[in-house]
Amino acid sequence: MARLYVGIRKNLAKLETDNAAEHFLQILSIAPKNPEVWLKLGVKSIAKGDVDFAKFAFEHAEGNDAIDALLSALYLSRNYHGASSK
């Protein structure tokens, strides 16, 4: 059931781009360790100008794309020493 819900919310996020962040948050409420969704949520947050939340989201994502995105967000916020070591 959870997989179906996640799939539906991902599709809704693609269709309703203005409300994509809300759909991603709904996914994370039942699947909090979903790195793909954290990355997409961070990208949406950057687009809306919320760099602080984007950094938070990128820290929860995984992989090279997440590291690149986090470094970009840190650069945007001029917080070069804020990256947490994992």
Predicted confidence (pLDDT) at residue 80 exceeds the cutoff of 60:
no
The owner of tokens 């991902």 is 10
CA-nearest of 53, 28, 31 to 42 is 53
Domain ranges of the chain: 2-77
Residue 49 burial by Cβ neighbours in a 10 Å radius (0-12, 13-18, 19+): exposed
Give the model's pLDDT for residue 86: 47
Give 21-48 pLDDT, tens digit per residue.
999 999 999 999 999 999 999 999 999 9
User: Which pTM does this prediction carry?
Assistant: 0.79
DSSP state of 32: T
- CATH level 3 topology of 2-77: 1.25.40
Tell me, what's the pLDDT at 8? 93
Angle at 64 between CA 60 and CA 67, to 5 degrees: 50
